Amino acid sequence: MNDAALFKNLYRYDGSTEGLLSAVSHILRHEEDPESIELRQQEGTLFSEGVFIATDPVRADELIERFSKRFPHNARDLLYCIYAEREGMETPLLHYIHLVARHGAGVRAYLTHPDVHAVQSLAKKVGREVHRFKGLLRFSMLEDGSYLAQMEPDFNIIQPVSRFFTRRLGDQNWFIYDVKRSLVSRWDRSALEFGTLESFHTPEFSAEEHEVRALWKTFFRHVSIPDRKNERLQKSNMPMKYWKYLIEKS
């Protein structure tokens, strides 16, 4: 294959989620054989090879909305892979979306297909971390009565975790802060918002929070049985990277 043919089959986007979905939408609409196309993030140079697709929020929203309605489980795989922020996953995601659109939701079972396998494997890893944080996230009461939870997940999962807690703690005002990425979500009992923080200082906890923390640590010490302590098993079930924000481990 000569350079001209190679670059004709190469598309680029700006690195954002909307940019990725915009490029996928464009390729699906304009290319006869999307599985022959490679999709990459735009490089820092002015004259990168390939065709650059500008971000179109409307097209991006249309794609994810249409895909979610027709193939909800496949759409979750897609979103989890995007949350993973894994370099080099753009082309497998493009091919996966095309395969699902062409053959239906059953594509999830095509695990011998390299792109399906790549998407499914990564989606499962992200899904496991989302599940862990649904149970591990600890909220602390602040002086104003709202709640704060901090986390440092491997993947950018603040959106699915936050949406879970709008149902779990829907009657409270709370914030979730991703320390690693400086991302924050805010729930005010009616609407969920996402944003970024350039700087963050842990606010003061309420007097009630300090009392609850002390009681919880006391309870944890009393219910633990020294003879049955097995840190190796603990670390296997709950890796130490998740212990930092657990009250009973602080």
106-138 confidence digits (pLDDT tens): 999 999 999 999 999 999 999 999 999 999 999
| In the chain, % of residues over pLDDT 90 | 68
Same domain, 16 and 124: yes
The domain boundary, picked from 70, 101, 129, lies at 129
Do 176 and 235 lie in one domain? The reply is yes
Q: Residue 4: its pLDDT value, please?
A: 45
| Per-residue pLDDT at 222 | 61
CA distance 96 to 113: 10
My answer on whether 146 and 83 are in the same domain is no
Question: Do residue 85 and residue 190 come from a single domain?
Answer: no
In a domain, 91, yes or no: yes
Helices and strands, number each (H, E), in the chain: 9, 8
Torsion sign, CA atoms 239, 240, 242, 247 = positive
Q: Are residues 106 and 170 in the same domain?
A: no
Q: Which is more confidently placed, 208 or 171?
A: 171
Same domain for 157 and 212, yes or no, is yes
In a domain, residue 250? The reply is: no
Residue 40's pLDDT is: 92
In this structure, what token pair is assigned to residue 129? Answer: 């971390």
Looking at residue 172, the DSSP 8-state letter turns out to be: S
The answer, yes or no, to whether residue 1 has pLDDT greater than 80, is no
What pLDDT score does 231 carry? 72
The strands making up 38-41's β-sheet, listed across from edge to edge, are 38-41, 10-13, 51-52
Which tokens belong to 47? 């004259």
Between 130 and 3, name the one with better pLDDT.
130
Residue 77 has pLDDT above 60, yes or no: yes
Please name the residues in contact with 61: beta carbons below 8 A apart, sequence gap of 6 or more: none
Q: Is residue 213 a part of any domain in this protein?
A: yes
The SS3 call for residue 65 is helix
Average pLDDT over residues 217-223: 68
The mean pLDDT of 71-98, rounded to a whole number, is: 96
Q: Which of 129, 163, 189 is the last residue of a domain?
A: 129
203 DSSP 8-state letter: P
Q: Do residues 72 and 141 both lie within one domain?
A: no
- Asked if 115 and 181 sit in the same domain, the reply is no
Q: What H or E segment, with its residue span, contains residue 151? A: strand 147-151
Answer yes or no: is pLDDT of 160 > 80.
yes
> Domain count of the chain?
2
Please tell me the pTM assigned to this model: 0.82
Q: Are residues 104 and 150 in the same domain?
A: no
Distance (Å, whole) CA 40 – CA 52: 10
Domain that holds residue 37: 3-129
> Is there a single domain that holds both residue 91 and residue 156?
no
Helices (H), 71-181: 72-84, 90-103, 114-136, 158-168
Res. 105 pLDDT band, cuts 50 70 90: very high
Domain C-terminal end among 129, 155, 170: 129
| Averaged pLDDT, 75-84 | 96
DSSP 3-state percent helix, strand, coil across the chain (nearest 5): 55, 15, 30
Same domain, 76 and 47: yes
149 with 183, same domain: the answer is: yes
What is the C-alpha separation between 245 and 250, in angstroms, rounded? 7
Per-residue confidence (pLDDT) for residue 2, from 0 to 100: 45
